[in-house]
Structure 1
């Protein structure tokens, strides 16, 4: 919803609002003062004569004092000037009453001294009444604008942090994949060409999608399959791998590269000294939840007390992204057992969107 602001583009609208407000004020007090005596039109004429000081008072307070003093946290200065202004305009109102309205139109009324306390206080209270609503609206819009500014700043900060996190992850992924190619080239493996093609496909996907807010879950899973195939070539199928997908992956979307760090982590730690190990990956989709379960073997010599599998850059990165993108909409469970490492990630999704 767009909030009304006091910029030049809205000036004509503000003028119209003021015009409606003052017309309503004049009619209200004309009815209050004129109907009991049966002389509404005389009361209306008198209100027209006395409305100018009120307009000047409200304009000075709302359009000058509030932005320059109150909104700049100069509260004592604001109230000091406000008190002086209301007394000055109350006196100006007394001059109009005595020397115009009472002298020429209400000649049958007794003219009170200019500083007569009851009449003077009545004019002060009338000025206070007429300025209260404009002050309230001005304050409301100011607070709404400040809240919008804070939200904009927070949103920009969030997007900047997410962009930073994505850019941190991207080089990390490239580093791991290029290491795979390097090892194959050193061993002069016939799989090098196949690895280059798969790296090309992965890079094309990651370069175009890494900065997208969402990608289709189907594309994300295809990306994971390519990555797993690449890793299987790297390890020459020494790993026992189980990869399964359950449910309908169409018409769902997800933040890109949230699942891959956990799979990367599995490949990093699962092999023992004989390059043997196993990984189980299961992805299931329901109408509301995406559930990813990944478990991998750990070498017998692996010390879970000193070696923390979940402390890598990729895992820390994805934890932070989950906090930012899916607050209260995800459940991440990590278990570092003696001979295995288990990850369960649940993300609440909806058809067609996150």
Structure 2
């Protein structure tokens, strides 16, 4: 098996060698046209010689086009410059071929033929068409190769841009979230609450998750849920009896993965706006589950009657970032609905994992 693999590797290197590819093209080209022209009198050897005599002009034309005109003009979008010099090269090559025909080929291989004027327009057009047949395949292959490289580079750039934007958005969410949590800790310390130690422990768990677990493109859904539970515990400590939190997790979570820090901003937003300026007991209900490989998230929270700035509720930096991340990571694979009434705010997210 190892010998076969080695032989295949050697064969692959030979086939992919550029010199071998070019040599193969010219050999096939000569044999094809030698057979086509030689079939008239069955003198294939003579037509091979004829093709070899004409070969330098054709080689010069082909490589001038694909290695000089292509990179100098066509790849840079200078179409008219390319066409001008392409036609000029064809005209020069056709003239050289006509000179070769009259001075060498007819005299040595077809002496019975009557020579046409060297620069006869009809003969030049005929030679140009013949040269075009030679150019067709190399030009097409080279152009397709270039288009493939351009598309590949565009895909790489698009991927790098996407990764950079996602990293930027995620890095914005993390400090934003941390800032709000530190505010909670600060308020507890001012009250000299014994629960401040619990807050520090919960916060350290969250920081560990954000710093070490969220660097990959996907994380286990269970880890994301654990971070949500830690955050909700912090909010319960912060607000005590002033908030009623309900979390319901259902479905089979095992093995499912999700983009990190994608769910938490919705919950943070609910906690922030349900308690802001609220005199009574605020409430938040959260349902998160898996159904047929879809993540279903439903969040509903109370709104204080004095809440008039609905733009800030719907369009805060955390939510704007998570919406953008959803569109980048799960394009055409998510449905997000946000509803705001005078008394409540609700989020419905259906995400195809």
TM-score using structure 2 length = 0.91
**What is the match of residue 6 of structure 2?**
none
Secondary structure of the residue aligned to 1:235 is: helix
> Which residue of structure 1 lines up, in the alignment, with residue 281 of structure 2?
276
Kindly indicate whether residue 268 of structure 2 is the aligned counterpart of residue 264 of structure 1: yes
Partner residue in 2 for 1:38: 42
Q: Is 1:182 matched with 2:186?
A: yes
Q: Aligned ranges for residues 1-354 of structure 1 at < 5 Å?
A: 13-271=17-275, 273-303=278-308, 308-349=312-353
Contact 1:158-1:324 at 8 Å conserved across structures: yes
Match of 1:21, SS?
A: helix
In the TM superposition, residue 222 of structure 1 has moved relative to its aligned partner by 0.8
* Alpha-carbon separation, structure 2, partners of 1:235 and 1:251: 34
CA RMSD of aligned residues (A): 2.0
Unmatched runs of 5 consecutive residues or more in structure 2:
1-12
Contact kept in structure 1, 2:15 and 2:21, CA below 8 Å:
no
Structure 1, unpaired ranges of 5+? 1-8, 350-354
Deviation of 1:119 (Å): 2.8
Alpha-carbon displacement from aligned partner over 1:306-350 (angstroms, at most 9, x marks no partner): 56421211111111111111111111111111211111111001x
Q: Distance in 2 between matches of 1:12 and 1:270?
A: 65
Q: SS in structure 1 opposite 2:298?
A: strand
Q: Report the number of matched residues.
A: 340
Distance in 1 of aligned mates of 2:300 and 2:262: 16
Q: Deviations over 1:36-86 (max 9, x none)?
A: 212122112211221121011111111111110122222222222222221
Corresponding residue SS for 1:122:
helix
SS in 2 for 1:175: helix
Distance 1:58 1:227 in 2: 68
Q: Which has the higher helix share?
A: 2
Supply the distance in 2 between the matched residues of 1:269 and 1:89 (Cα, whole angstroms).
78
Structure-1 separation of matches of 2:17 and 2:95: 32
CA displacement 1:161-207 (0-9 Å, x = unmatched):
11111111111011011011101110000101111111111101111
